[in-house]
Amino acid sequence: MKKELFGLSLIELQELLVAAGLKKFRAAQVYQWLYQKSVTAFDQMRNLSKADIAILEANFTLLPQQLKILREQVSQDDLTRKVLLEFPDGNSVETVLMRHDYGYSVCVSSQVGCDMGCAFCASGLSGCIRNLTAAEILAQVYIFNSMLVGEGKQVSRIVVMGSGEPMLNFDAVIGALQFLHRENTLYMSYRNMTISTCGIIPGIEKLTQLGLPINLAISLHAAEPELRTELMPVNKGFPFQDVIQAAEAYVGYTGRQVTYEYILIAGKNDSPVAAELLANHLRFKHASVNLIPANPVPEKGFERPSKKVVEAFLKVLQKHKINATVRREMGKDIDAACGQLRARFAQEQQD
């Protein structure tokens, strides 16, 4: 049975290649092709002999090469590209490439599906099927990086904000981020990495202890206990007041300001009173607020508020000197919300 090479350290790669009959120095060459040049097929590694390539192909596999793009959508402005990737076991996740004026970022999933049950999100419609491995998280970055490398560009930022709760797959997520930070891979700065959580306090505490300057984003979406529990059942186990306290400890240890994500849902959490409550909880905190007009999710029946309502909410926060912005929308025309593309594809397969 062939062994998977993608995601291994250089030492692990050396051990496997030597055992297969290759010279030790070949591992460094393969490693460079995979993680610096983003080549995803052995026969494209031009400084390897045909005999060595034959040994590699007979004994090993490369995960990015095995990924199947089930569906791909590109926004009309060509700034956002979203793919539904199928892994060899048949499970699929969504991954998004976004082009900004400062570079390219990839939003990756950390789980197949999600168990958080947030009322506004399509990711959890079928629950969490399984955690992704560190290699599967990395592959989502490299599938896009392989497209960019021919243009002399590469992914410079990663956001773990796709399907799944990253803190419930902590080791794999951190393993993938640490891998991308290595000098002999993409050498991506930790400051260009963001982990988004629903507020799993033990995960926030573990991240705090690591002391890495990774950006922390917390999905808040309501500052009233009963409403947040309605929207986000995780609030029962981890009340948002305790989450904010854990986030402040993270700020104190890493010096990184925390971003609070707040999806504005028409008639639910978008009133001036709701804005006042949010401001009260975040006043004097090392925090910024990212307001996100809801992407319509037909399965959930939620609608986005009007532009006027959004602006009124923002003004309340600014009046209280809360650093707040309205998220620049990208990919609105291509099933932009997490889980929408996967849910749509699954429904089509059933019909």
Mind telling me the catalytic residues?
94, 338
Outline where 100-256 has alpha helix (H). Answer: 134-148, 170-181, 201-210, 225-231, 240-254
CA-to-CA distance for 232 and 243, rounded, in angstroms? 13
- Positions at the binding site: 114, 118, 121, 164-165, 196, 219-221, 295
Judging by beta carbons within 10 Å of its beta carbon (0-12, 13-18, 19+), is residue 40 exposed, middle or buried?
A: buried
The dihedrals phi and psi of 285, each to the nearest 5 degrees, come to -95, 155
At what angle are helices 170-181 and 134-148 packed, to 10 degrees? 40
Annotated binding residues for S-adenosyl-L-methionine, written as ranges, equal: 164-165, 196, 219-221, 295
Inter-CA distances, 218 with 82, 250, 258, 331, Å = 23, 12, 7, 22
How many C-beta neighbours within 10 Å does residue 161 have? 21
Q: Please, which residues have CB within 8 angstroms of residue 55's CB and are 6 or more apart in sequence?
A: 20, 21, 22
Q: Is 83 helix (H, G, I), strand (E, B) or coil?
A: strand
**Residues within the annotated binding site for [4Fe-4S] cluster?**
114, 118, 121
Give the whole-angstrom CA distance, residue 325 versus residue 320: 14
Distance CA 153, CA 103 (A): 9
Give the span between the Cα atoms of 152 and 302, in whole angstroms: 42
Distance between CA 68 and CA 305 in Å, rounded? 37
Q: How far is the CA of 237 from the CAs of 56, 72, 268, in angstroms?
A: 48, 37, 22
CA 8 – CA 5 distance, rounded (Å): 6
Residues in Cβ contact with 310 at an 8 Å cutoff, skipping those fewer than 6 apart: 264, 270, 291, 293, 326
